[in-house]
């Protein structure tokens, strides 16, 4: 729009300059006063001469100071030129004002587009920052590590392996592990669904680095005598709990887990009444299944 107004102003200015450059004889015809013969037939010779000079022809551009009529024409010409230049000035002023309005509208729209672009850029930057944090933060996964018999005991303890699969160290790591055996063999739809975990975090200085791991067993109060595992027929053993940690950006996170074993998968070479002289696997880690309940993370 602004370029269109600029072209109009240039065309109008050229037309004005072209009109001013024409010779006076081409701009106006010769102004000739027709003098009637009867008007010059009276009076004295001196008066007739003065009347002739007063009423003499007045060409455009001729400065005849003795002709009152010529002076009137010059005054009329000056008034006409003044009116013309005033009109041209008004036209140019109007065009200039219109161009200024168009420039203001264009500037306003440009500012609006700039503001919209800045908002979009900020949103994109915020999204990229959030995506980067999600990709780089620490993630703790808890995988089954079997049910094992410890040295000098006849009891089995459920173990898990805590792994940092993220790209930043996990800090303030605390892990709670529990284990229980079902009271009887039940159908899958009647399997246990409620697995309570502590809601409070414990202050620790444990750090698990990227690709690092930490092994931990269940609480001593949750150990199961190996004899009971061998006597139970197709019962389920649940190893569950929760891990709390900071994700590397100071944000608290958690991972809840629940692994299910079946007593039918026990190591039948073990004597359940004999104390172990070395750590023995009662049910191997590959026999575990992730239970349909009790698994969650943020």
Model confidence at 147: pLDDT above 50: yes
> What pLDDT does residue 137 have?
96
Domains of the chain by residue range: 2-134, 140-297
Q: Which residues does residue 157 pair with via DSSP β-bridges, in sequence order?
A: 148
Confidence of residue 34 (pLDDT cuts 50, 70, 90): very low
Model confidence at 58: pLDDT above 90: no
> What pLDDT does residue 269 have?
92
Entry pTM: 0.61
Tell me the average pLDDT of the chain: 82
User: Each residue of 172-220: pLDDT tens digit?
Assistant: 999 999 999 998 777 788 889 999 998 877 788 899 999 999 999 999 9
Q: What is the dihedral of CA 109, 112, 114, 118, to 10 degrees?
A: -170
Neighbouring residues of 58: CB distance < 8 A, sequence distance ≥ 6: 31, 33, 64, 67, 69, 70, 73, 74
> What pLDDT does residue 32 have?
47
Q: Which residue has the higher pLDDT, 280 or 124?
A: 280
């Amino acid at each position: 729009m602004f370029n269109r107004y600029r072209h109009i102003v240039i065309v109008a200015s050229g037309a004005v300059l072209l009109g001013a450059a024409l010779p006076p004889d081409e701009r106006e015809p010769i102004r000739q006063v027709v003098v009637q013969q009867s008007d010059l037939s009276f009076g004295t010779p001196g008066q007739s001469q003065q009347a002739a000079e007063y009423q003499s022809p007045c060409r455009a551009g001729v400065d005849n100071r003795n002709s009152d009529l010529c002076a009137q024409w010059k005054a009329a010409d000056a008034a006409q030129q003044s009116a013309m230049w005033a009109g041209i000035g008004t036209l140019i002023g109007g065009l200039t004002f219109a161009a200024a309005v168009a420039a203001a509208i264009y500037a306003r729209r440009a500012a609006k587009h700039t503001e919209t672009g800045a908002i979009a850029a900020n949103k994109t930057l915020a999204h990229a920052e959030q995506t980067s944090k999600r990709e780089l933060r620490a993630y703790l996964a808890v995988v089954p590590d079997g049910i094992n018999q410890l040295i000098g005991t006849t009891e089995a303890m459920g173990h898990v392996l805590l792994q940092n699969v993220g790209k930043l160290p996990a800090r303030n790591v605390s892990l709670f592990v529990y284990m229980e055996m079902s009271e009887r063999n039940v159908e899958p739809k009647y399997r246990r669904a409620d697995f309570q975990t502590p809601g409070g975090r414990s202050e620790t200085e444990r750090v698990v680095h990227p690709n690092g791991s930490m092994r931990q067993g269940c609480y001593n109060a949750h150990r199961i005598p190996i004899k009971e595992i061998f006597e139970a027929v197709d019962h389920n053993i649940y190893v569950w709990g929760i891990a709390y940690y900071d994700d590397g950006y100071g944000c608290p996170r958690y991972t809840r887990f629940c692994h299910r074993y079946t007593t039918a998968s026990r190591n039948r070479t073990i004597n359940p009444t004999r104390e172990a002289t070395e750590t023995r696997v009662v049910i191997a880690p590959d026999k575990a299944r992730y239970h349909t309940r009790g698994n969650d993370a943020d």
